[in-house]
Amino acid sequence: MPAPVENLIILGSGPAGLTAGIYTARANIRPLIIDGATPGGQLMSTSYVENWPGHQRILGPDLMMEMRKQTETLGARFLSETITALDVSKKPFTLTTDRGTSLSAHALIIATGATHKRLGCPGENEYWGKGVTVCAVCDGAFYPNKRVIVVGGGDSAMEDASFLRKFTDKITVVHLLDKLTASYAMQQRIINDNAVKIIYNSTVSTIAGDGNHVTSATLVDQKIKQTQTIETDGIFIAIGLRPNTDFLKNQLEVDKLGYIIVHDDVKTSVDGIFAAGDVHDYKYRQAITSAGNGCIAAFMVQEYLQKV
């Protein structure tokens, strides 16, 4: 006997997915939330969050557990699997998970987020959350007058370096190429700042620490293959994001980087499917903006289901 058709399936259980779950559960839609490969999203690997309304300071995992408990209490259901295939050629939409579970739904909210690209060097995993981070806005305030490294040369890296200047004047930017790739205006903001040192043609080959926190990074000059080790208190990685949309397989319209293309905030190219959070190319990548996206998607789902 086939499983019943769900009113709504939400893909992803980060701030966007859980907020959508809270609002649609309160609307008696009884959403089914698919946890995905990283239940809780990017905040599960974040240390303290100090910019979430209502909490002066809370660990990222604790915040996500609070949101999850609230969502469950309101009646949302969870499935600890990952969607691997989606068919939007007919309604209701059908989905398949990594465990072979077949699901169908009248509406979908895709909130699978994006994954920060990593360096892949020794020490990165060991010191993740212990000085290695991907969010200057989240963690910059923990480094007053500290030595920090920003890895990257695009707009995100320049924004991170600019933000970190509020707290320290000991900033080193490490970039793979011989010139920055950020927009001209962003480059000028950093190049003309004497507090920011830029090391070109280099990559971080090793991250070291004292067991509790980062203490240094070893750099390799890609032209002359010379290495140098510099002391640092924090490393901010800003080498880009990869949207978690591989499972779509041409089912929805995406841009050249794989981000879902949306209009009217969260509507996708397929009627009845909405995208919320970092899975589409939204400028302000913060947990609170993802949550707002999830709220908008929830309201649009309610309007859509009234017509089904």
Residue-by-residue DSSP string for 6-72: EEEEEE--SHHHHHHHHHHHHTT---EEE--SSTTGGGGG--EE--STT-SSEEHHHHHHHHHHHHH
Catalytic annotation, pick one of 62, 87, 121, 139: 139
- The confidence score (pLDDT) of residue 25 equals 98
Distance CA 24, CA 4 (A): 18
pTM, 2 dp = 0.77
Report the phi/psi class of residue 118: left, alpha or beta, with left for phi > 0 and alpha for psi in -120 to 50. beta
Domains of the chain: 6-115+242-305 (3.50.50.60), 132-237 (3.50.50.60)
Residue-by-residue DSSP string for 126-147: TTBTTTEES-HHHHGGG-TT-E
Lowest-confidence pick of 158-172, 218-232, 280-294: 280-294
Distance CA 300, CA 125 (A): 39
Distance CA 93, CA 102 (A): 11
Distance CA 76, CA 18 (A): 9
> How much of the chain exceeds pLDDT 90, in percent?
77
Bridge partners of residue 147, in order along the sequence: 170
The pLDDT-based confidence of 185 (bands split at 50, 70, 90) is confident
User: How do beta strands 214-221 and 227-231 pair?
Assistant: antiparallel
Residue 164 pLDDT exceeds 60: yes
Tokens 């789902």, residue located: 301
Residue 5 CA: distances (Å) to CA of 88, 110, 142, 154, 285 = 14, 17, 47, 44, 33
Residue 244 tokens read as 């978690």
Q: Tell me the average pLDDT across 246-262.
A: 93
In degrees and rounded to multiples of 5, residue 22 shows phi and psi of: -60, -50
Residue 227 per-residue DSSP state: E
Distance CA 119, CA 151 (A): 9
Catalytic annotation, pick one of 138, 160, 278, 295: 138
- The confidence score (pLDDT) of residue 115 equals 86
Whether 295 sits among the annotated catalytic residues: the reply is no
Distance CA 89, CA 178 (A): 47
Bridge partners of residue 62, in order along the sequence: none
Tens digit of pLDDT for each residue in 87-130? 999 999 999 999 999 999 999 999 999 988 899 999 999 999 89
CA 219 to chain centre: 26
Helix, strand or coil, per DSSP, at residue 279:
helix
CB atoms within 10 A of CB 224: 8
Helix, strand or coil, per DSSP, at residue 94:
strand
* 22: amino acid identity, one letter: I
Helix, strand or coil, per DSSP, at residue 89:
coil
Residue 155 pLDDT exceeds 90: no
Residue 79 pLDDT exceeds 80: yes
Lowest-confidence pick of 40-54, 134-148, 248-262: 40-54
Tens digit of pLDDT for each residue in 5-58? 999 999 999 999 999 999 999 999 999 999 998 888 888 866 678 889 999 988
Residue 270 per-residue DSSP state: S
Catalytic annotation, pick one of 62, 87, 98, 135: 135
299 and 107 Cβ atoms separated by less than 8 Å: no
